[in-house]
Structure 1
């Protein structure tokens, strides 16, 4: 199950990329995130890790995330637990006086949970809409 949003923001692309690279900040812009704690230290680089606690349809899920791609315009985070693999793929490009964020999230359910995936699609779409609404506001004040 996947969602994709294009989000115009009023910050420069390098600033936005650096902000989003710190996955611990998801609690600021992702309404589903309850907490996100960095597991290592030092600069954020490929291999950096976080534990993300989120709430989805009234249930709490904990995923261990790793930054697997970090280049001049793109980030990719992959999170896992026993029931799901989540991939967040983020591209940031200059656009006008700010930046365009292309945010793609993909959930791959494991085991019997796969059967429930179609029932979760609408909630996942709403969460992506909420991210698209919140991210520009958060970036405007940070």
Structure 2
């Protein structure tokens, strides 16, 4: 299993931040690996909503189905799955001064079968991605 954790503050009120990030389709704007992400279940967003995600990291493309597992005012959790991996994106939010929000972003990636052999290299790779998520997500959120 690979875990990447980042905590940072954006200059945007918590309601705007949560409203934006609870729609996982927006991952294509803040996640460096996401090429395309589209809601695949009809209706309003809530627990059980699914998205089709196409990602490419370090030249390797993959597709996952993400599902919203938790939808709270201060936390949203998405789980992505395919044949080789399970990815959990856990985002927690707290007010941090006037018009600012502290975000804790945790990504847990578990590889299945032979893909487990990639864990040591994947840890290094996903740490690099985690370092890219913070400035990208900050820029996107502060531009809202």
Deviation at 1:2, TM superposition (A): 0.2
Runs of 4+ in 1 over 4 A off after TM superposition: none
SS at 1:47 equivalent? coil
Counterpart of 1:52 in structure 2 is 53
Counterpart of 1:34 in structure 2 is 35
- Correspondence 1:45-124 to 2 at 5 A: 45-97=46-98, 98-124=100-126
Q: Which runs of 5+ in 2 are unaligned?
A: none
1:5-49 superposed Cα distances (whole Å, 9 cap, x missing partner): 012101111111110000000011111100001101222100100
Q: Which runs of 5+ in 1 are unaligned?
A: none
Paired positions, count: 142
SS at 1:123 equivalent? helix
TM-score, length of structure 1 as denominator length:
0.97
